[in-house]
Structure 1
């Protein structure tokens, strides 16, 4: 970077340089030493790769987001969420270089009364990603969202609901309806969520050929997502294609579903349909609400069935990796962050190990648990 300092007729010192695009940038100072210090700072940022052109930050937050978002490989739902998050900020029309952490904090504080902490976290992450992209593009030097404190969220174990086996049984018994154009065949959908841990869109996207009835396994290779007034077929969330091993009773439920509702179907036929289309989004939501209302369990969410499945695997002694693969989590860390409170703690394992030791010792001494040794019986 070439720069120079010259004294102006008005007595001030002008420091100037040309940026990577060849555009001249200049500032005026009362003292030559201040002009030289400014040029040295610019030269340092150029050498370290942190140089930000002063003119770049004139873009408003909205202008930068509109340009940046067009280059992102987002599904429609993600784009809609990003538009919602960035459209809610009060600094959308401010130049990027003028946005301070206080602006972001004011936005968070203003939304805390109307949004749940989890909603705030989700939308903050989107806005933060815009600032990080601006830093990477050298539009701004620093990310103003750094250090912003978010409302405290409830602990996972406190916010998570786990239906009991009796409740799931009630939901299954009320899932189907004898009414025409109602919930016929919905029992199999509920069973897939409860006993295979499928997400809403994954269960909707199951085709007849995905089920291997002989090997008792299901291949999860797609999901359905709403796209305006129709649907799109996409890979599972986080690329979580997987094979789920099915219990015998679930295989029976699915085979009966196929025999009753899809006899002589081709392998690529949707397992759950509404007319000629797959059952998705609102069609699922309506049937689920009707099911839980009929069962008297209106507090149970559809996603709670996935938690039910995970908790069952953990209670049966499955390790973290097994549960991760069954649920299609991106990593074992995700599984632990969500369900770590369900695995036995060191205290639990210590107590269980000690109980086993005392049981073996008492048994070796010819005593049943809790039996008083003869030597301790007063004569």
Structure 2
């Protein structure tokens, strides 16, 4: 309900009630101004664009802090990444009111980010801002988010570098002996670096040839239930990993020099050192690895092995422990063989069958 009444002092008082029944009022010298304000506020209520006056002063920085408190139930690594993104967001928007952040400002901000960060990082930070402002809309702090397809910087999708088998074995040879199992787990089982560092001896069934990831470094649950999918491995890999375990005597597959559990950072340091040691060798078919080659690129090699073997996308998805086939196709779709020729041959066979039937048709 809304109304306008003249006060004893000659001013006009406009009043309305929000959806919760709370009354809001404002005074004006002229009735036409009171009516204009009242029409504006009631229109916002009807269209869902209304925000409580007490919430309109909330800044982006204040809301980020509140949002982060609720986000703290996620995994430590996920929360740590969110905090890193928020530091960047606050540098530009901390003191701005939520309602004052316009799409044009978001677009200009992402353009500035691209001057400093890689496209993938820029997109990740932008998505964090979109997530935070989207939750502000859900909480009734904003009528609508300024982030949309028009403001998005676009998600970079560079094709992953796929090492050759010769390069992978050259890396293996260049790794310290106690960390060599990590190369095997990444290249031939597709484990991520945090999974490889935390893989325990009890997580591997050496007799059946099955690796069952259960935790990731540092003794945290895996990122999803899909990541727990058992990975079948050949006897050759199981035997080589078993030999490494016997030599180290540790409780984990990958260890430090004294047989204690290692860390992802130790593995990545070894990767950088080994990467630089791998030199071109025409006889062995080894090419120099790119400077940005990292442990996760061994996982791309694992995917390439599966695809080259002719496995379909659902099998590849399962072996990589992706949540959906979409993720697999978005990352490795270009590796799957071109089916145009097969499609043409299938249709041509139908035409050939028709031609054969006409030739043998009784006259």
**TM-score band, normalised by shorter chain:** 0.7 to 0.9
CA distance in 2, matches of 1:11, 1:276: 87
Q: Which sits farther off after the overlay, 270-279 or 61-70?
A: 270-279
User: Is 1:108 aligned to residue 113 of structure 2?
Assistant: no
CA distance in 1, matches of 2:156, 2:111: 18
Label 1:271 to 1:242 Cα distance change in 2 as closer, same or farther (>3 A). Answer: same
Structure 2 match to 1:272: 254
CA distance in 2, matches of 1:156, 1:352: 32
Structure 1 match to 2:180: 187
Q: Structure 1 residue 165: deviation in Å?
A: 1.1
CA distance in 1, matches of 2:331, 2:314: 13
Q: Which sits farther off after the overlay, 128-137 or 2-11?
A: 2-11
Label 1:40 to 1:111 Cα distance change in 2 as closer, same or farther (>3 A). Answer: closer
Structure 2 match to 1:66: 65
Q: Structure 1 residue 278: deviation in Å?
A: 1.8
Label 1:298 to 1:127 Cα distance change in 2 as closer, same or farther (>3 A). Answer: same
TM-score by length of structure 1 reads: 0.80
CA distance in 2, matches of 1:242, 1:120: 32
CA distance in 1, matches of 2:99, 2:184: 53
Structure ranking higher in helix proportion: 2
Contact 1:17 1:26 in 2 (8 A): no
Q: Structure 1 residue 7: deviation in Å?
A: 2.9
Structure 2 match to 1:282: 265
After superposition, residues 1-379 of structure 1 pair within 5 angstroms as 2-8=1-7, 13-19=12-18, 20=20, 22=22, 24-26=24-26, 28=28, 30-31=31-32, 34-35=36-37, 37-38=39-40, 40-45=42-47, 51-72=50-71, 73-89=73-89, 90-151=92-153, 155-157=157-159, 160-175=160-175, 183-224=176-217, 232-239=218-225, 240-262=227-249, 269-274=251-256, 275=258, 277-296=260-279, 297-299=288-290, 300-350=293-343
Contact 1:120 1:150 in 2 (8 A): no
The number of residues matched between the two structures is 334
CA distance in 1, matches of 2:7, 2:163: 78
CA distance in 1, matches of 2:156, 2:52: 42
Q: Structure 1 residue 132: deviation in Å?
A: 0.3
CA distance in 2, matches of 1:66, 1:39: 29
CA distance in 2, matches of 1:43, 1:119: 38
Contact 2:190 2:298 in 1 (8 A): yes
Unmatched 5+ residue regions in structure 1?
176-182, 225-231, 358-379
Contact 1:11 1:30 in 2 (8 A): no
Q: Structure 1 residue 154: deviation in Å?
A: 5.0
Contact 2:13 2:25 in 1 (8 A): no
Unmatched 5+ residue regions in structure 2?
280-287, 351-363
Residues 318-340 of structure 1, C-alpha deviations (whole Å, 9 max, x = no match): 11121111111111111111111
TM-score by length of structure 2 reads: 0.83
Label 1:65 to 1:214 Cα distance change in 2 as closer, same or farther (>3 A). Answer: same
